[in-house]
Chains A and B, each alone.
Chain A
């Protein structure tokens, strides 16, 4: 069974520090990867997408992908209390037309 694995946390980070979230996946067919943020009782909100090996930066967020190691990460710089949420890592199934496989999510707490 194709899986996406994440440490459920909670991960506690001081305000202003860098939060580092990690994810591994088992399906080598997956070509596209996503980080979603989910607040309690709400649906997921897309933070970053990444398709190629290496880093992709968007504001305070940097996604990293290593297909050889089947590893995806998300760095959040200058963490803010509003970043406190559950972060879901997702991999596109097959060619992308088959939906997403999600990890269980990492609960991130930014301490003021």
Chain B
């Protein structure tokens, strides 16, 4: 199946710094990618939809100026957490839809996730 990678897998940073997380589709092109966040013992919550060549679409309650998304190419989307604070500590996971399926609600291929800890 399609493979999605994320980098880094784990990052620890000081409060106030910015952290960039990369999401890559390795063997297919993705015009759309999704960014989710998962707090401990909670489910995945969709943060934003990353669109190649246009602005990202953010979910209600997600600050677009804090979580900067750039979909620079058909295989790369980046999420930058600006001025990170301890409450931003979470598991960030990206996904991309199945490029070969035309069915509604295409299968999402998930990256391995990035564990962010803000001290």
Contact = CB atoms under 8 A, between A and B. Distances in A.
B44 A88 contact: yes
Interface residues of B, number: 24
Given A101-B46, A104-B43, A44 B110 contact: yes
B24 to A, nearest CB: 14
B105 A51 contact: yes
**Chain A contact surface mostly:** loop
B112 A102 contact: no
A97 B106 CA distance: 8
Task: State which size class the interface on A falls in.
Answer: 20 to 34
Contacts of A101: 46
B100 interface: no
Interface of B: 32, 34, 36, 42-46, 49, 91, 93, 95, 97, 103-108, 110-113, 115
